[in-house]
Amino acid sequence: MKNLIKVSFLFALMFLLSCSSNDEAIILDPADNSKSVADCGEAFVSPERNYFCLGGAPEVLPGEILNYAFKHNSINTDVTWSIESGEMEILNIETSVSGDFTISIATIKFDSDFDGGFLKASSIPNENKGEGFVLTEINPE
Protein backbone atom coordinates (compact mmCIF):
# COMPACT_ATOMS: atom_id res chain seq x y z
CA MET A 1 0.00 0.00 0.00
CA LYS A 2 2.90 2.35 0.82
CA ASN A 3 4.40 1.73 -2.63
CA LEU A 4 1.10 2.62 -4.30
CA ILE A 5 0.93 5.90 -2.37
CA LYS A 6 4.56 6.72 -3.22
CA VAL A 7 4.04 5.95 -6.91
CA SER A 8 0.83 8.00 -6.99
CA PHE A 9 2.56 10.92 -5.25
CA LEU A 10 5.56 10.77 -7.63
CA PHE A 11 3.26 10.60 -10.65
CA ALA A 12 1.26 13.63 -9.45
CA LEU A 13 4.46 15.56 -8.69
CA MET A 14 5.92 14.71 -12.10
CA PHE A 15 2.69 15.81 -13.80
CA LEU A 16 2.67 19.15 -11.96
CA LEU A 17 6.31 19.87 -12.77
CA SER A 18 5.95 18.98 -16.44
CA CYS A 19 3.07 21.41 -17.00
CA SER A 20 4.03 25.03 -17.24
CA SER A 21 2.21 28.21 -18.03
CA ASN A 22 3.37 30.13 -21.05
CA ASP A 23 1.68 33.52 -21.26
CA GLU A 24 3.71 34.67 -24.26
CA ALA A 25 1.68 35.52 -27.33
CA ILE A 26 2.16 33.19 -30.24
CA ILE A 27 2.55 35.15 -33.45
CA LEU A 28 2.15 33.01 -36.51
CA ASP A 29 3.75 33.93 -39.80
CA PRO A 30 0.91 35.27 -41.98
CA ALA A 31 2.66 33.82 -45.04
CA ASP A 32 1.90 30.35 -43.64
CA ASN A 33 -1.85 31.04 -43.69
CA SER A 34 -3.51 29.85 -46.90
CA LYS A 35 -5.75 32.93 -46.87
CA SER A 36 -2.74 35.27 -47.15
CA VAL A 37 -1.79 36.52 -50.60
CA ALA A 38 1.39 37.86 -52.21
CA ASP A 39 -0.27 39.03 -55.44
CA CYS A 40 -3.76 39.87 -56.62
CA GLY A 41 -5.65 38.52 -59.57
CA GLU A 42 -8.55 40.54 -60.91
CA ALA A 43 -7.77 44.14 -61.71
CA PHE A 44 -9.56 47.38 -62.22
CA VAL A 45 -8.34 49.07 -65.39
CA SER A 46 -9.15 52.77 -65.54
CA PRO A 47 -9.98 54.65 -68.76
CA GLU A 48 -6.39 55.95 -68.68
CA ARG A 49 -5.17 52.31 -68.78
CA ASN A 50 -4.08 52.29 -65.16
CA TYR A 51 -4.15 48.81 -63.65
CA PHE A 52 -5.03 48.40 -59.97
CA CYS A 53 -5.89 45.37 -57.89
CA LEU A 54 -6.21 44.51 -54.21
CA GLY A 55 -6.20 40.87 -53.16
CA GLY A 56 -6.82 39.15 -49.88
CA ALA A 57 -9.32 37.17 -47.84
CA PRO A 58 -12.88 38.56 -47.92
CA GLU A 59 -13.72 36.68 -44.70
CA VAL A 60 -11.49 36.39 -41.65
CA LEU A 61 -11.50 35.16 -38.08
CA PRO A 62 -11.06 37.61 -35.20
CA GLY A 63 -7.43 37.45 -34.03
CA GLU A 64 -6.16 36.33 -37.43
CA ILE A 65 -3.08 37.92 -39.05
CA LEU A 66 -3.10 37.95 -42.87
CA ASN A 67 -1.29 39.47 -45.83
CA TYR A 68 -3.12 41.58 -48.44
CA ALA A 69 -1.60 42.60 -51.78
CA PHE A 70 -2.00 45.76 -53.89
CA LYS A 71 -0.64 46.07 -57.42
CA HIS A 72 -0.33 49.08 -59.76
CA ASN A 73 1.17 49.27 -63.25
CA SER A 74 3.69 51.92 -62.36
CA ILE A 75 7.25 51.34 -61.19
CA ASN A 76 7.61 54.72 -59.53
CA THR A 77 4.67 55.05 -57.15
CA ASP A 78 4.01 55.61 -53.47
CA VAL A 79 1.52 53.16 -51.94
CA THR A 80 -0.43 53.96 -48.78
CA TRP A 81 -2.65 51.62 -46.80
CA SER A 82 -5.46 52.73 -44.49
CA ILE A 83 -8.14 51.19 -42.32
CA GLU A 84 -11.38 52.86 -43.37
CA SER A 85 -13.46 51.09 -40.70
CA GLY A 86 -13.32 48.02 -38.49
CA GLU A 87 -11.23 46.74 -35.60
CA MET A 88 -7.96 45.86 -37.34
CA GLU A 89 -4.45 47.22 -37.50
CA ILE A 90 -1.65 47.40 -40.04
CA LEU A 91 1.40 45.59 -38.65
CA ASN A 92 3.77 45.85 -41.60
CA ILE A 93 3.99 47.11 -45.18
CA GLU A 94 6.52 45.93 -47.77
CA THR A 95 6.57 47.54 -51.20
CA SER A 96 8.66 46.35 -54.13
CA VAL A 97 8.90 46.59 -57.91
CA SER A 98 8.45 43.55 -60.14
CA GLY A 99 8.63 44.08 -63.89
CA ASP A 100 6.40 47.04 -64.75
CA PHE A 101 4.43 46.84 -61.50
CA THR A 102 4.66 48.16 -57.97
CA ILE A 103 3.46 45.51 -55.52
CA SER A 104 2.73 46.33 -51.90
CA ILE A 105 2.03 43.69 -49.24
CA ALA A 106 0.35 44.76 -45.98
CA THR A 107 0.18 42.51 -42.93
CA ILE A 108 -3.14 43.07 -41.18
CA LYS A 109 -4.12 41.92 -37.70
CA PHE A 110 -7.82 41.54 -37.01
CA ASP A 111 -8.64 42.39 -33.40
CA SER A 112 -10.56 39.98 -31.17
CA ASP A 113 -13.68 42.15 -31.50
CA PHE A 114 -13.49 42.41 -35.31
CA ASP A 115 -16.98 42.40 -36.83
CA GLY A 116 -16.29 43.67 -40.34
CA GLY A 117 -14.63 46.63 -41.99
CA PHE A 118 -12.98 48.20 -45.01
CA LEU A 119 -9.31 48.22 -46.04
CA LYS A 120 -8.00 50.72 -48.60
CA ALA A 121 -4.81 50.79 -50.65
CA SER A 122 -3.92 53.90 -52.65
CA SER A 123 -1.18 54.73 -55.11
CA ILE A 124 0.21 58.10 -56.05
CA PRO A 125 2.60 57.70 -58.97
CA ASN A 126 5.67 59.87 -59.21
CA GLU A 127 5.18 59.82 -62.98
CA ASN A 128 2.19 60.79 -65.12
CA LYS A 129 0.30 57.49 -64.79
CA GLY A 130 -2.62 58.71 -62.66
CA GLU A 131 -3.44 57.90 -59.09
CA GLY A 132 -5.99 55.46 -57.84
CA PHE A 133 -7.20 53.37 -54.96
CA VAL A 134 -9.01 50.12 -54.25
CA LEU A 135 -11.32 49.61 -51.30
CA THR A 136 -12.22 46.11 -50.14
CA GLU A 137 -14.82 44.93 -47.67
CA ILE A 138 -13.77 42.30 -45.13
CA ASN A 139 -16.30 40.35 -43.09
CA PRO A 140 -16.00 37.92 -40.17
CA GLU A 141 -16.27 34.20 -40.96
**Domain boundaries along the sequence of the chain:** 29-140
- Looking at domain 29-140, its CATH class is mainly beta
Q: For residues 137, 117, 103 and 96, what is the CA-based torsion angle, rounded to 10 degrees?
A: 180
pLDDT in tens, 79-99: 999 999 999 999 999 999 988
Count, residues in the chain = 141
Residues whose CB is less than 8 angstroms from the CB of residue 136 and which lie 6 or more positions away in sequence, other chains included: 54, 56, 58, 68, 118, 119, 120
Please write the tens of the pLDDT for every residue from 12-67. Answer: 444 444 444 443 344 456 656 677 777 776 565 665 667 788 899 999 999 999 99
Dihedral sign of CA atoms 115, 61, 55, 77 in order: positive
The answer to pTM > 0.85 is no
